[in-house]
Chain A
């Protein structure tokens, strides 16, 4: 069993839709949870991170962590074609070291 599971997609939505991306994990020691966006042939860029359980909002993006269920989510409101990319969840036990990534979900937002 992988430490972090993520549906690879692709997930296709029309412009303006609300997108829900999710990961589950097995290691209860994970404390820091991140979401990265990766465009084709580029390096990942950090979108958001949260520590422990709870919600965090940044513009059109909301990250949720439910440690009791070992489940994290990223919501994108009013999705745009420019949001089309692969979204990777990542997590660590301590700080920002040694990130453990999911496989990524490919998102396609059509105009």
Chain B
């Protein structure tokens, strides 16, 4: 059983461009979480999704950030008009309902 897959592993964008981060959960997992890790800081919760539903987006910035988890395909975290402060490692985790979260390897976003 493959683990949580994230791609790309590294993403470089110039200020003002869009960044799309993908997360394929483990087989059988219907819950997906996104976290952001800034340098020298712990992981910060961003959003919790189930298939086709956003359950909790209390950690998402109000502007430029959006997330989806469609019926088919991976979960997508989208950052529009990136700024240098968006540079961070973005981790996706998946789980069965109310159970341990398994983390992916992360996508490291660098904004030039």
Q: Say whether A associates with B.
A: yes
Give residues in A with beta carbon < 8 Å to B: 4, 6, 8, 36, 41-46, 49, 88, 90, 95-104
| Measured CA separation A19–B100 after assembly (Å) | 25
Contact of B40 among A4, A8, A97, A99 (CB under 8 A): A8
Expressed in whole angstroms, the minimum distance between the Cβ of B75 and any Cβ of chain A is 15
Contacts of B66 in A (CB 8 A): none
Within 8 A of A (CB), among B92-112: 93, 95, 98-106
Contacts of B41 in A (CB 8 A): 103
* B12 CB–A CB distance under 8 Å: no
Contact B45 A49 (CB under 8 A): no
Expressed in whole angstroms, the minimum distance between the Cβ of B96 and any Cβ of chain A is 9
Contact B100 A43 (CB under 8 A): no
10 A-B Cβ contacts within 8 A?
A4-B42, A41-B105, A44-B43, A90-B43, A96-B98, A96-B100, A97-B33, A98-B58, A101-B35, A103-B42
Contacts of B19 in A (CB 8 A): none
* B69 CB–A CB distance under 8 Å: no
Closest to B46 in A: A98
Contact B104 A101 (CB under 8 A): no
Within 8 A of A (CB), among B27-70: 33, 35, 40-45, 48, 55-56, 58-59
Contact A96 B45 (CB under 8 A): no
Contact of A43 among B42, B55, B91 (CB under 8 A): B91
| Measured CA separation A97–B101 after assembly (Å) | 8
Contact B48 A88 (CB under 8 A): no
